[in-house]
Amino acid sequence: MALIDFQGVCVDFPVYNASGRSLKKRLMLVATGGQLNEDATGVVVIRALDNITFKIGDGERVALLGHNGAGKTTLLRVLSSVYAPTSGSGLIQGKLGSLIDISLGIDPEASGLENIYIRGRLLGMSAAEIKNKAPQIVEYSELGDFIEMPVRTYSTGMHMRLAFTISTTLRPEILLMDEWLSVGDEGFKHKAEARMKEMVQSTSILVVATHSRELAMNTCTRALWLEHGKIKMDGSSKEVCDAYFGPVAS
């Protein structure tokens, strides 16, 4: 049983190195990011998420929509419990996996195989588990003998293929993504697409931040529209997409 339950979650970022405070105040009028405020001691505070309340249950596929700076990435980070809410409370039940930065922890000087171990460890796999899965990962990523070479000798595509394969080995109950992952050349792309679909299917909850109507409509069942750190709309993906992107001209 996977569950995400957020009750009035707020996230305030203090900005200690903001010297031009008056300039920042003026920026309040320009409405791109969250809301800028000052706390009692005069430190500039950015309210990135404001009173977010929602509940996501088993089987839901949720798209996070919103302009740049609306709070999508921050919300994903709160979901992955990197940021603790400044106020409010959240409950996350279920094994969490994130495909937000799949290259995290990859050391360019180490060989592909060593990187499978480092990255696998970071993702919480045990040494035995990685040892079991390493041959599959090597085979799937189609790197062949290059797996023994330092990653810095890889092309960008090969690098991404390796990172992608390691990260998609896990089967979490709650999956967080920032846009759909698409890697490799034409041949690998199809394989990767199938693997992503399979991974998404096996998770109970998917939360994906996206700018793509297609993704929100086809993969997701529900959408949250964030604006200035608040939920502007919460509903079925069709309803929200029609409101956010405008109705489809049929």
- Measured from the CB atom, the residue of 8 and 26 that comes closer to other proteins is 8
24 or 121, CB closer to other proteins? 121
CB 179 within 8 A of CB 172: no
> In angstroms, what is the minimal distance from the CB of 112 to other proteins?
14
C-alpha span between 149 and 162 (Å, rounded): 12
Nearest distance in Å: CB 59, other proteins: 18
Cα–Cα distance, 93 to 158 (Å, whole number):
35
Nearer to other proteins, 81 or 136 (CB): 81
- Residue 25 CB, shortest distance to other proteins, in Å, is 21
| CB of 141 vs other proteins, minimal distance in Å | 20
Rounded Cα gap, residues 193 and 181, in angstroms: 8
Q: Nearer to other proteins by C-beta: 95 or 232?
A: 95
Q: Which residues bind other proteins (CB under 8 A)?
A: 9, 13-14, 16, 77-78, 80-96, 98, 100-101, 104-105, 107, 109-110, 117-118, 121-124, 127, 150
Which of 80, 221 has the CB closer to other proteins?
80
Distance of closest approach, residue 243 Cβ to other proteins, in angstroms: 29
